[in-house]
Amino acid sequence: MKKNPTFPARRIFLLSLFVIGLGGLFVRSVYLQLFEHEFLEEEGKARHLRVVEIPAHRGMILDRNGELLAVSTPIYSVWANPLEALQSHKAIRNAALILNMNADSLIIKLQGKKDRQFLYVKRHITPQQADKLKRLNSEGIHLQREYRRYYPTAEVSSHLLGFTDIDDKGLEGIELAYEQWLRGQPGAKKVIKDSYNRIVEDVEAMKIPEPGKDIVLSIDRRIQYLAYRELKANHSKHRAKAASAVLIDARTGEVLAMANTPAFNPNNRKGYNRGTYRNRAVTDVYEPGSTIKPFTIASALESQRYSQNTIIDTSPGEYQIGEFTIRDHKNYGALSVSDIILKSSNVGATKIAQTIPAQELWSTFSAIGIGHSTECGFPGEVSGHLKYFQDWRKVEQATMSYGYGMSMTSLQLARSYAVLASGGRLLPISMLRKSAKELAEVSKIPAIFSPQTIDKVVSMLTDVVSDAGTGSLAAIPGYSVAGKTGTVRKSSKGGYEEDKYISMFAGMAPASDPKLVLVVMVNQPNRGVYYGGEVAAPIFSKIMGGALRILNISPDRVPLQANVEQSQNHAG
pLDDT tens profile 252-261: 999 999 999 9
pLDDT at 532: 95
Strands 495-509 and 482-492: antiparallel
23 part of a folded domain: no
- Kindly state whether residues 381 and 412 are assigned to the same domain: yes
Q: Is the pLDDT of residue 120 over 80?
A: yes
Q: Is the pLDDT of residue 356 over 60?
A: yes
19-44 burial, b if ≥16 CB within 10 A, otherwise e?
Answer: eeeeeeeeeeeeeeeeeeeeeeeeee
What is the Cα–Cα distance from 34 to 19, expressed in whole angstroms? 22
What is the CATH number for 484? Answer: 3.40.710.10
What is the Cα–Cα distance from 261 to 255, expressed in whole angstroms? 18
The least confident of 92-96, 305-309, 476-480 is 92-96
pLDDT at 204: 52
pLDDT at 178: 96
Q: How confident is the model at residue 562 (pLDDT cuts 50, 70, 90)?
A: very low
DSSP H or E segment with residue 149? strand 141-150
**End-to-end C-alpha distance for the chain, whole angstroms:** 148
Share of the chain above pLDDT 90, in %: 64
437 part of a folded domain: yes
191 by DSSP, 3-state: which? Answer: strand
pLDDT at 564: 42
Structural domain that includes position 268: 221-550
Which of 290, 401, 430, 541 is flagged as catalytic? 290
- Kindly state whether residues 350 and 485 are assigned to the same domain: yes
Mean pLDDT of 400-421: 97
Q: Is the pLDDT of residue 572 over 50?
A: no
- Kindly state whether residues 470 and 523 are assigned to the same domain: yes
pLDDT at 373: 95
What is the Cα–Cα distance from 311 to 303, expressed in whole angstroms? 16
**Helix 103-111 with 89-98: angle, nearest 10 deg:** 130
Q: pLDDT tens digits, residue range 25-44? A: 777 676 656 666 665 555 55
Beta bridge partners of 191: 50, 202
pLDDT at 135: 86
Q: How confident is the model at residue 208 (pLDDT cuts 50, 70, 90)?
A: confident
Q: How confident is the model at residue 198 (pLDDT cuts 50, 70, 90)?
A: low
Domain total of the chain:
2
What single-letter amino acid sits at 568? Q
- Kindly state whether residues 446 and 533 are assigned to the same domain: yes
Using alpha carbons, select from 529, 406, 555, 537 the residue that is nearest to residue 461. 537
- Kindly state whether residues 392 and 415 are assigned to the same domain: yes
- Kindly state whether residues 146 and 113 are assigned to the same domain: yes
410 part of a folded domain: yes
Choosing from 181, 198, 216, the residue where a domain stops is 216
Q: How confident is the model at residue 288 (pLDDT cuts 50, 70, 90)?
A: very high
Q: pLDDT tens digits, residue range 423-439? A: 999 999 999 999 999 99
Choosing from 188, 216, 244, the residue where a domain stops is 216
Mean pLDDT of 415-420: 98
What is the CATH number for 158? Answer: 3.90.1310.10
pLDDT at 163: 94
- Kindly state whether residues 202 and 300 are assigned to the same domain: no
pLDDT at 138: 77
The least confident of 32-36, 71-75, 118-122 is 32-36
- Kindly state whether residues 174 and 304 are assigned to the same domain: no
List alpha helices for 238-289, DSSP H: 280-283
295 part of a folded domain: yes
- Kindly state whether residues 349 and 498 are assigned to the same domain: yes
The least confident of 19-28, 127-136, 227-236, 463-472 is 19-28
536 CB neighbour count, 10 Å cutoff: 34
Q: pLDDT tens digits, residue range 511-531? A: 999 999 999 999 999 888 999
DSSP H or E segment with residue 426? none
72, 149 in Cβ contact below 8 A?
yes
Q: How confident is the model at residue 87 (pLDDT cuts 50, 70, 90)?
A: confident
Looking at every residue in the chain, the average pLDDT score rounds to: 88
565 part of a folded domain: no
Mean pLDDT of 76-80: 89
Q: How confident is the model at residue 443 (pLDDT cuts 50, 70, 90)?
A: confident
**Distance of CA 352 to CAs 112, 294, 303, 368, Å?**
76, 12, 11, 19
According to DSSP, residue 292 is labeled G
Q: How confident is the model at residue 571 (pLDDT cuts 50, 70, 90)?
A: very low
Q: Is the pLDDT of residue 280 over 90?
A: yes
Q: How confident is the model at residue 497 (pLDDT cuts 50, 70, 90)?
A: confident
Q: Is the pLDDT of residue 276 over 80?
A: yes
Q: Is the pLDDT of residue 333 over 90?
A: yes
Mean pLDDT of 13-33: 72
Using alpha carbons, select from 486, 478, 499, 496 the residue that is nearest to residue 555. 478
Q: Which residues contact 36 (CB under 8 A, 6 or more apart)?
A: none
- Kindly state whether residues 226 and 210 are assigned to the same domain: no
The least confident of 332-336, 357-361, 557-561, 565-569 is 565-569
**Distance of CA 202 to CAs 40, 185, 191, 205, Å?**
19, 20, 4, 8
What is the Cα–Cα distance from 500 to 479, expressed in whole angstroms? 33
Highest mean pLDDT: which of 53-67, 82-96, 485-499, 532-546?
A: 532-546
What is the Cα–Cα distance from 244 to 253, expressed in whole angstroms? 18
Beta bridge partners of 313: 334
**Phi/psi at 68 (5° precision):** -75, 130
What is the Cα–Cα distance from 22 to 559, expressed in whole angstroms? 108
One-character DSSP codes across 342-390: HHT-HHHHHHHHHTS-HHHHHHHHHHTTTTS------TT----B---GG
93 part of a folded domain: yes
- Kindly state whether residues 296 and 206 are assigned to the same domain: no
Q: How confident is the model at residue 236 (pLDDT cuts 50, 70, 90)?
A: confident
556 part of a folded domain: no
pTM of the complete model beyond 0.95:
no
pLDDT at 167: 87
33 part of a folded domain: no
* 290 included as an active-site residue: yes
Q: Is the pLDDT of residue 413 over 80?
A: yes
Choosing from 172, 189, 216, the residue where a domain stops is 216
Q: Is the pLDDT of residue 309 over 80?
A: yes
pLDDT at 518: 98
- Kindly state whether residues 315 and 363 are assigned to the same domain: yes
Using alpha carbons, select from 562, 502, 559, 557 the residue that is nearest to residue 532. 502
281, 409 in Cβ contact below 8 A?
yes
